[in-house]
Every structure is written in structure tokens, then in C-alpha cells.
């Protein structure tokens, strides 16, 4: 597989906190030139150098680059969990309610993965635990609230 490059995608420069430079989640980094890249590339914080979203790691299609979908996907252990999860971080306040995000969430849930939505304000919501009995009901309720008709047996 050919290694992907960020190109014009700078979505993680907004969605992720970078503690070493006191950059909170949900705001653009002061060192980011949106759609171009890092202005301090040679002095980029180690956390930024190490980070590779799932798209960079070869998951999803070329057209599903985070800046195009508004969703940065990561494998992480968010503060609200004590286990790894697929973390979907929204670039905008409505990114996680887009058709793309809803479809991706549903596909991940069908694979029995733990999915967490991270909002631009740094809060987390819509946590699903596939191993719990309430999983099917919670997924059904969430999908119904987002306009997707489902049937739960």
C-alpha cells in the first residue's frame, strides 16, 4: 500500500489538543495555515509528528480524507473510557450529524466496535458498548433520532 500524505488536510490541527503548546481541542492551532499545513514544521511538537489518523493509515477511501468529510477518525482511549475505541472527531459543530458520519458510525457499530463521538468543544458523547445488552436498543434509538429508520428484534 502506498503511504498517504496529509496534503491539504489540516483537520487534526483543529480537532486535537496538543498539550505541549497549550492548544485545546476544537480550535485551530496558531501554527496551522488551514488547507496548507504547519508553519513550524521543523519544530512541530512530538505529539503532532507522531499522530496519524486512520485515513493516513490507509483506512477509508481517498475521497474520505478528514478535511473533505469533516470527521477525523482515530483509535484512542478517550477520557470517558478505560479502553480503546474508534474516536470520531467532528471538525464543525454539525460534522457528526452529517450523512457521512452517521453512515460511518453505523458501519463501525455493525463491526462491534466501540465508537465515541468527540465534539469540537472538547466534549464526548454517543458512546456505544457493543458487548452490553442495551447496545442494540441504544443504536436503534440514536439512529431513529438521526432520521434513520431501523428495526430491533
Question: What tens digit of pLDDT does each residue of 58-75 get?
Answer: 999 999 999 999 999 999
Residue 153 domain flag: no
Question: What tens digit of pLDDT does each residue of 80-100 get?
Answer: 667 788 999 999 988 988 999
Q: How many separate domains does the chain show?
A: 1
How many helices and strands (H and E) does the chain possess?
5, 6
Give the mean pLDDT of 138-151: 57
Whether residue 125 is predicted with pLDDT greater than 70 in this model: the reply is no
- Residues 44 and 12 sit within 8 Å (Cβ to Cβ): no
pTM of the model: 0.78
What is each CA distance from 112 to 23, 143, 146, in whole angstroms?
A: 33, 16, 20
Give the mean pLDDT of 115-126: 76
Range of the domain at 101: 12-145
Residue 150 domain flag: no
Residue 3 domain flag: no
Amino acid at each position: 500500500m502506498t503511504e498517504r500524505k496529509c496534503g491539504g488536510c489540516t483537520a487534526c490541527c483543529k480537532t486535537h489538543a496538543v498539550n505541549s503548546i497549550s492548544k485545546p481541542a476544537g480550535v485551530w492551532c496558531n501554527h496551522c495555515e488551514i488547507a496548507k499545513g504547519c508553519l513550524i514544521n521543523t519544530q512541530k511538537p512530538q505529539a503532532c509528528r507522531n499522530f496519524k489518523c486512520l485515513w493516513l493509515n490507509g483506512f477509508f477511501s481517498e475521497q474520505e480524507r478528514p478535511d473533505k468529510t469533516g470527521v477525523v477518525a482515530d483509535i484512542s482511549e478517550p477520557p470517558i473510557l478505560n479502553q480503546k475505541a474508534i474516536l470520531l472527531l467532528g471538525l464543525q459543530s454539525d460534522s457528526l450529524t452529517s450523512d457521512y458520519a452517521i453512515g460511518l458510525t453505523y458501519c463501525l457499530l455493525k463491526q462491534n466496535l466501540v465508537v465515541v463521538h468527540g465534539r469540537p468543544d472538547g466534549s464526548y458523547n454517543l458512546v456505544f458498548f457493543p458487548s452490553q445488552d442495551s447496545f442494540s436498543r441504544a443504536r436503534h434509538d440514536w439512529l431513529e433520532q438521526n432520521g434513520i429508520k431501523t428495526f430491533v428484534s
